[in-house]
Structures are given as structure tokens and as C-alpha cells.
Amino acid sequence: MRKIFRKLFNLIIFLSVFHLTIDAQNQYTGYNSMVNRIRALSDKYPKACSVRSLIKTEGGKEIWLITIGSGKMDSKPGIVIAGGVEGRHILGRELALGMASSLLKESSSVEVKELLDKITFYILPDLSPDASEQFFSEMKYERTGNARATDEDHDFVTDEDGFEDLNKDGLITLVRVEDPAGKFIKSSEDDRIMAEADLSKGQSGKYLVFSEGIDNDKDGNFNEDGPGGVDFNRNFTFNYESFGPESGMYPVSEPETRAAADFLFDRYNVYAVLTFGPQDNLGEPLKSASGGEKNGIIKSILKEDEALNKLLSDKYHEITGMTGAPPSTKRKGDFFEWAYFHYGRYSFSTPGWWFSAEKDKNDEVAFLKYAEKNGKGDAFIPWTPVIHPDFPGKKAEVGGIKPFILTNPLADSLDVIIMRNYNFIKAVASMHPELEFLDINVENQGEGIQRISLKLHNSGIFATSPKIGEENMWTRVMRITAETSDGQSIISGQKVQKVERLEGNQSAEFSWLISGKGSVKITAGALNTGTVSTTIELR
């Protein structure tokens, strides 16, 4: 009997652990769990992976870097994968971690091993850990600012007007108050959703609508200065908004933005940056705008870089099956545009997941239809009456779409989403610029003089650098060198020459007149393209 009970007890323990394990796989990753996962990868794959912290945030959280590759990693073409650029887009953390885990898991396969021999991956799983941790807190709201105390409403007091959970459900949604001075009405498409009244259609407002909370500082605004200071994705130099919401005192003012920029500026081998965040040029590619310069400042993708963006966008749709991308969320001072316009690298960004909605339809209405169609009917918190101290005698209700759910899928779909994006990353990495010498020829010119001629060819799909990077001091220029042996001299042609940017499948021709016998070593390339060498014997 004891043996039977012992077996039953062991079975119960096994099932409990199994259940917890399955649940853990279907959950978003909190900060401490992320750190444990990163360290576990370093321990399990020490030859293919190195891990370090770039810096600590104002809130004391580390900005982690995972470097994956082989050999001299900083001397090969590199791709940066950035997650957590915006705290409320917690999917970005999962995708970046998923890329690291998947690459390392397959690092011994022929396909990935060959890739890691040529390419280095720099993965930054979460660049906004102070903000993204709000998802895992008792009171959940879509936070984007770090832990720096700020004075967002410019009243000389910091963090004095934050959110309050009026209906005690642990979620910050909306408050609506019946008031003829309000600007909102119930949407005709779905009366749960509040929409601005359209005077041109004879509509007049009936509700005030604002985020859940009270007016703590009695300035007539709600929740405009709570915890959450500077947004990583608003703190970069390109198109920076001075005195903008959560933009910081000045560009790159925060430890994490400085650390990210410093790290990238030191990595001349990086040729592309892929960001998992709200901005998007893979779901819908960018288009070059004529007259894209104002006062000499380029603000739209250059024509020469547009074609590759379109190619990768098509490839993204093909591999992930994601179509019908919503309009990209624009940010001033964002990381994605900075990486292109100021860092001078190919820069691509995608939210990694979205729901398809009909054009010209209210996004929230469309989302609720999508959620109900896919069996997720609990996406909306029903409007519930509350007593609001700022509106005595008026009917106030709390409700709305749950925070985070519009931009982050349910956790049980993460594995599929990660794998789709991982397959895309592998495809993109295989398109890296790759140099080779073609048509090497030696012609005897008489009197001990010989002509060497060859072509330097880029067999990759990516150009050796984006057009935007040509005038950027942070982008290395390719060069080709001819090293002669003792007793030889170069009669015609330069020992060291600059190599102009090569598009994919494009070549450049070079030749030298060499006097004397012996070997001549030709080397070409740059850190962001890789280098190639060949030795030619002159007899």
C-alpha cells in the first residue's frame, strides 16, 4: 500500500512540475527570468556565445548584450538585433531572446554554423527594462519611461500625478464621465469603444474620457506626471524633440541610450540593425521622397536604399505569412531611424506581430472583432461605475481594452511568432555583403614587367554599405591594397586604393603594373564587409 501511495505521490509531483513547466513556456519573461535565461545560454554555449552588461539603468537594471558567433567576432560583418526599445512592446524582449536561443540551439547545424563563421550577431534583449517591468507588476499600465524622476508637467514637482486603479482590477484602462462638455461619444461601430464626436456629421460630445486615475495635483489634467521618466525610443539624436514628452533633458541623456550608442559607434563591423519595436519598415517598406532634404537634413530613405527595403519587406511577408500591416507608429528621436540616418547602417524594424484590420476602421473596434473571432473575448474590461472624487454627482465608469494587448499577442502564440521571425533573420543574415575576387589575370608586358588585373565582386544581396553611410564617419570605407615582395615595385596603380560602394552583384576592376619577380598579395574589404585576400606569383 505504501508503494502505491508513493507512486501516486510521485505521479502527482511529476504532473505538477510538468504543468508548471508548460505554463512557464507560455508566459512572457520577467526581468529576473530574462537574466537567468541569458546566463544559462552563456553557460551552455560558451564557445559560441559571450554575455556582458553594458551598463545599469537609473532603476538599477542591467542592459545585457549577447554576442553570438565564432572566431574574432568583432572582425566580421555584424548584425544588431534590438528588443525592448519601447517598454510597452514586451514582445520585442521575447523575440530578441528567441533569436539568441534559436541561433545557439542550431549553432552546430551546417546552415547556422556556416552563418556564424561569417557573421556576428549582437543581441540586446531589452533596452528599456525599467519600463517593460511594469507589465509584471501588480498594477499594469503601458509604461515607456525609465526610472528617472521627471517633471513632465513642468510644475517643479516630479512624479506627483500618476495612475490610480479605481476599480481595483490591477489594470489601468480608461475613465469615462457623462458630461455635455465632453468631446467623446460611443462608437457607432461598437458602443464599448469611445470615439471623438465629429461636428461635421452633426455629432456632439457626451463624455469626458481620460486614463484611469485622479487629478492629484489639481491642474485639470490626469496622470500626466507619474512614475516613468525618459523613453529610450525618444532619446536619440535624429529628429529629437526638445521638451517633448519623455524625451529627456537632452539627446542621449540616459545611461542606456549612451551605452547603446557608444557600443554601436565602436562596432565598425556592424552593417545592419534589426529592431523589434513599434516602428515598421518590413510590414510596409519606406519610400524615398523627392525633396526629402530640408536645410540639408535628409529625412527620408535614399533612393539607392529603397530597393533593398522593398526586397526585405517582400521576404518578411513571404517567410512570416504576416500581411496587412497597420500604419507604422512614428516617434521623434527613435532608435530605428537613428540607426539609419545618424549611425549610417541599414536599419529595419518590425513589431513582429500584428492583427489584420480593415482600412479606415477604428483600430480598437477592429481589434475587438479580431479577439472575439480568435476566441479571446476577454480583451475588454466592461464599463463599471465608480465614485470619482474629481466629478461629484456625475456618472463615472472605468473600462476599456486591457493594457498591452493591442501590441502584444497572448503568450500561448509566442513560440510560433518567434520561429517565423527567426527564419526571417536567418534569411536576411545569409544576404550579407560578401566579397570575392574574379577574373584574376596576369599579362607579361616585357622587360620584367607584368600587369595584374582582377575584379572585386560583391556576391551578397546587401550593398557593401547603405548609400546613407557614404558620408558618415562611423561607416568604414573599403580599400584594396597590393603588397609586393622584396625586389618588386609598383610602376602603375596605387598600393592602397579606396573602393567605392558596391551594390549586390556588382564589381569594380583594378590593375597594377609590377616590376620584378615574386609574390604579390592583394587584400580588399572593410570590417563591415569582411576582407578577402589572394596571392599571385609573378615569374
User: Quick one: how many helices (H) and strands (E) in the chain?
Assistant: 10, 22
Q: pLDDT tens across 514-534, in order?
A: 999 999 999 999 999 999 999
The per-residue pLDDT for 19 is 33
Q: Which amino acid is at 217?
A: D
* CATH dotted code for 435-538: 2.60.40.10
The per-residue pLDDT for 4 is 43
DSSP string, 66-89: EEE-SSSGGGS-EEEEE--SSTT-
Report the first-to-last Cα separation within the chain, whole angstroms: 92
DSSP string, 419-441: HHHHHHHHHHHTT---EEEEEEE
pLDDT bin (cut points 50, 70, 90) of residue 478 is very high
Residue 364 has pLDDT above 80, yes or no: yes
* CATH dotted code for 2-134+230-354+408-429: 3.40.630.10
Q: In the predicted model, what is the mean pLDDT of residues 353-358?
A: 81
What the block records as the C-alpha cell of 111 is 546552415
52/42 Cα distance (integer angstroms): 10
Q: Taking Cα atoms as reference points, which of 382, 485, 392, 469 lies closest to residue 433?
A: 469
349/330 Cα distance (integer angstroms): 12
What the block records as the C-alpha cell of 517 is 619577380
Residue 439 has pLDDT above 90, yes or no: yes
Q: Distances in Å between the alpha carbon of 145 and those of 59, 156, 171, 428?
A: 11, 18, 18, 32
**CB of 269 within 8 A of CB of 120?**
yes
Give the contacts of 130 (CB within 8 A, at least 6 positions apart). 57, 58, 59, 61, 87, 145, 146, 147, 228
E strands present in 427-529: 435-446, 449-458, 478-483, 489-492, 496-499, 506-515, 518-526
pLDDT bin (cut points 50, 70, 90) of residue 16 is very low
230/127 Cα distance (integer angstroms): 12
Q: Please name the residue that has the C-alpha cell 535624429.
A: 238
What the block records as the C-alpha cell of 329 is 507608429
The per-residue pLDDT for 375 is 75
Lowest mean pLDDT across 199-213, 236-250, 347-361, 484-498:
347-361
Residue 480 has pLDDT above 90, yes or no: yes
Q: pLDDT tens across 386-410, in order?
A: 999 999 999 999 999 999 999 999 8
Q: pLDDT tens across 48-104, in order?
A: 999 999 999 999 999 999 999 999 999 999 999 999 999 999 999 999 999 999 999
Residue 322 has pLDDT above 50, yes or no: yes
The per-residue pLDDT for 193 is 93
What the block records as the C-alpha cell of 13 is 509531483
Mean pLDDT over each residue of the chain, to the nearest integer? 89
pLDDT bin (cut points 50, 70, 90) of residue 237 is very high
Alpha helices, H only, 128-270:
129-132, 255-265
Query: Which strand (E) or helix (H) includes residue 165?
Result: none
Q: Please name the residue that has the C-alpha cell 461636428.
A: 199
55/255 Cα distance (integer angstroms): 7
270/264 Cα distance (integer angstroms): 8
Q: pLDDT tens across 144-156, in order?
A: 999 897 767 676 6
Query: pTM above 0.85?
Result: yes
CA 361 to chain centre: 27
- The full set of domain ranges for the chain reads 2-134+230-354+408-429, 435-538
